[in-house]
Structure 1
Amino acid sequence: MTSFAASNLQTLSHAERVAIAEQWSDAPPLQAEILSGTFWQLGDLNGRQLLPFLVLAPEGMVGNVFHRSLDHWCVADGKLCILDDRGMPTIVFTAARIINSSVVTLAGHAVLDGVEAVYILNLVDHPPHPVAPTPPHMERRAKFIKRPPAGARRANLVVVRANGSSLHPRWFEGIGDNTRTWDLCVSWYGNEIPDASVSPEYLTHAPNQRKFKPIFDLFYDDSPLWNYDRIWLPDDDLRCSGSDLNRMFHLSRKYGLDLAQPSLRQEPGCHINHPITAQRQGSDVRFEPFVEIMCPLFSRRALRICIGSIKDAVSGYGLDHLWPSFLGRPATRMGIIDSVGIVHTRPIGASYDVRSAIAEQAALWQSYGFQYRPIPGVN
């Protein structure tokens, strides 16, 4: 691979050459395993911002991008390459800016949409929430009232915000500890101090908060909850059994799903928000481009990518469109698990202001530069 300096500097203006000479060096050898799951902002050396939030998603998918020229990514000869939808290289990043031994910016000379320029990827994090962001550098870390001994865990995890009216005790019906394949973490939102018996494994107390902020606080950097292979984040008004959850986790693993959910039963008393999530008979798993915020099931690597989006989420509106986008809209790693049907017992909008939620969604999408595209069966 020819170096950035040798092959590209002669095509640039004097100002560009000076800037690169002062700040840049040839990119060190990169590894796909290290790059996978990282977040970047795409611009050029002239100061244009093209994409505020781009994800180098698993399996070479480019997340949160709707552009034929930015279809896939790979590492070739130690260089990050972006490919178009024909598999042809669009940008090869051959230069880097390194701070404290870490690559923070990559650059490559290319022609994109007819514009020849030095294109730049800046390493970023999830943008601050547009409505109620946490102050910078404020640490948020949940405290466990109860947790299992180190090393004593099952493969999967259920995390639920609950109070005294939660349906989660019914999830243990028909299953014993010797056959259960999932641990439970209860984040209690009632004002009263919860009894330790409400969860056999993990328990925290975060009163008077909505679903997502306290869940984010559970997944701090060295949290024991990151040790699980798959993590389900259901609402507390879902009726299902322990054997349902065993099968849900099993099929998610069997089909290699990064993002999934159980289907919703088509019966009286089950409130279905989106027709796409309704149970279909004769199907085990149905690959779909949408998973509802009510009951998302993540692989660990997918949750690591998506967790930052829930940090300050109030209603959660719009997250179920962002998550597939972050993962690059994988055609065969997202789905509805039809052979597991659950009952949603509470109608949409029963506990929050829908108008405010829609406004939050619009602001959130704008902060990520997300381009909405209608999905059949999603209201």
Structure 2
Amino acid sequence: MTSVFVHPSSNHLVEVLVHRPWLFGIANRVLISPYLVFHRDGQIGGIDDARFRKWTLDEDSVIFLDESGSRTMAFRVCELGTNARVALAECNTNINMAHFLLETESLLVYPQKEDSSVLTPLPKRRPNLVVLRAGKSSMHTSWLKDITDTERNWDLCISWYDDAESFSQYAAGEYNVLQNELKKFQSIHKLLYSGGALREYDYVAFPDDDIDTSWRDINLMFEIAKCHKLMLCQPALHRSSFYSHQITLQQSDKRLRYTNFVEVMFPVFSQAALERCVGSFPLSESSWGLDQLWPRLLGGHRYQIGVIDAVAVRHTRPVGGSYDQTKAFADKYRLMHQFSAPEDYQEFGFIVI
């Protein structure tokens, strides 16, 4: 089939790019990324490669930029025939070694208001939000209240997974919603539709309910995330915690470590990161694998993801005690395969106290 180059307007081309994922590879059948994403702010997600950090347009061409902002390659849109998937081919190169982008099926599921639990916006909200998936044994009622309520820089949303009777007894956040049918991130997904009350916050945290912490530490966690312009982060785990990943344990001589991993136990998203990652929330019933996926969707930017050592929380229960670990591992490896998200845990630098 002969390719026919088309010349869409810039605005139309932007909409073509940002509203669908792409296979990215080389014409000799080398696949580089099975799920590349063009973010509207000019960043590239779905791949962690310093050569492909950003994108821009130059007339009818799509330009890839590297970490320094230098141009690495250019593509033009091809039309492969009626009802065919959209494709882009690299310009000015040997056809057998040309890079290509081919529209692929979307795997992310973005929440829709008609399928969601609608919460009423607060008349006056704080800048940040904690969304706690909680039950009757939740630790949040024991969080140390070492600052006053007016000093908190975060609102609390409780997504209750226990029975309705206990919900009325225990739930006491700014937002309270009974969600006892699905698992953690599948339930929270239904609260995060575009334009909803929970999508107006600067940062949103999603701790498990077996985390022991304090109001002051949560305040500080949000302050550090904002100060260092982090997109995705977590508080470190106190060394007395039950833990799965060494990289999440506190290093007390540091304020912050830049990493390529944040655990599902207590992730903190900027609103921009949440926009990019919320569609992944229902993809894993156990939540396993989501923490490998999120940095991939964000594009692996070295100094926007991290573990905050200045704030250490304590994980109080053994890992994996409340679910089928065989199914959890299946969730994890399925997502890693679908998105080509490797299981590696790296630190790229740190800030000392």
Q: Provide TM-score, normalisation by structure 1.
A: 0.78
Within-5 A mapping of 1:271-350: 271-350=242-321
> Could you tell me which residue of structure 1 aligns to residue 2 of structure 2?
16
> Could you tell me which residue of structure 2 aligns to residue 141 of structure 1?
116
Post-superposition CA distance 1:86-116 (Å, at most 9, x none):
866454233377xxxxxx9462343789725
Secondary structure, aligned partner of 2:222: helix
Cα distance, 1:119 vs structure 2: 2.9
How many Å separate the matches in 1 of 2:235 and 2:325?
A: 24
Cα pair distance change 1:331/1:190, threshold 3 Å = same
Unaligned regions of 5+ residues in structure 1, if any? 1-14, 98-103, 129-133
Post-superposition CA distance 1:254-298 (Å, at most 9, x none):
00100100011123xx21221111111122111111111100000
Q: How high is the sequence identity, in percent, across the aligned residues?
A: 31
Cα distance, 1:37 vs structure 2: 6.9
> Could you tell me which residue of structure 2 aligns to residue 212 of structure 1?
185
> Could you tell me which residue of structure 2 aligns to residue 266 of structure 1?
239
Aligned residues: 339
Post-superposition CA distance 1:315-361 (Å, at most 9, x none):
11111111111111111111111111110001111101112211121
Residues 93 and 109, structure 1, Cα contact 8 Å, conserved in 2: yes
The one-letter amino acid of 2:296's match is: S
Within-5 A mapping of 1:125-204: 125-127=106-108, 140-144=115-119, 147-150=120-123, 152-171=124-143, 173-193=145-165, 194-195=167-168, 198-204=171-177
The one-letter amino acid of 2:344's match is: P
Query: Are 1:358 and 2:329 matched, yes or no?
Result: yes
Deviates most, 258-267 or 78-87: 78-87
Unaligned regions of 5+ residues in structure 2, if any? 80-84, 348-353
How many Å separate the matches in 2 of 1:49 and 1:113?
A: 15
Cα pair distance change 1:44/1:360, threshold 3 Å = closer
Secondary structure, aligned partner of 2:149: coil
Cα pair distance change 1:84/1:285, threshold 3 Å = closer
The one-letter amino acid of 2:47's match is: V
Residues 258 and 334, structure 1, Cα contact 8 Å, conserved in 2: yes
Residues 143 and 204, structure 1, Cα contact 8 Å, conserved in 2: no
Cα distance, 1:240 vs structure 2: 0.4
> Could you tell me which residue of structure 2 aligns to residue 4 of structure 1?
none
The one-letter amino acid of 1:115's match is: N
How many Å separate the matches in 1 of 2:245 and 2:268?
A: 17
Post-superposition CA distance 1:23-51 (Å, at most 9, x none):
x6313125999799765213689997944
How many Å separate the matches in 2 of 1:283 and 1:247?
A: 15
> Could you tell me which residue of structure 1 aligns to residue 103 of structure 2?
122
The one-letter amino acid of 1:259's match is: L
Post-superposition CA distance 1:36-90 (Å, at most 9, x none):
976521368999794431123587543222567x523221435421246786645
Cα pair distance change 1:35/1:158, threshold 3 Å = farther
How many Å separate the matches in 1 of 2:87 and 2:2?
A: 15
Deviates most, 224-233 or 53-62: 53-62
> Could you tell me which residue of structure 1 aligns to residue 10 of structure 2?
29
Query: Are 1:73 and 2:44 matched, yes or no?
Result: no
Residues 142 and 214, structure 1, Cα contact 8 Å, conserved in 2: no
> Could you tell me which residue of structure 2 aligns to residue 3 of structure 1?
none
Q: Provide TM-score, normalisation by structure 2.
A: 0.83
Cα distance, 1:365 vs structure 2: 2.0
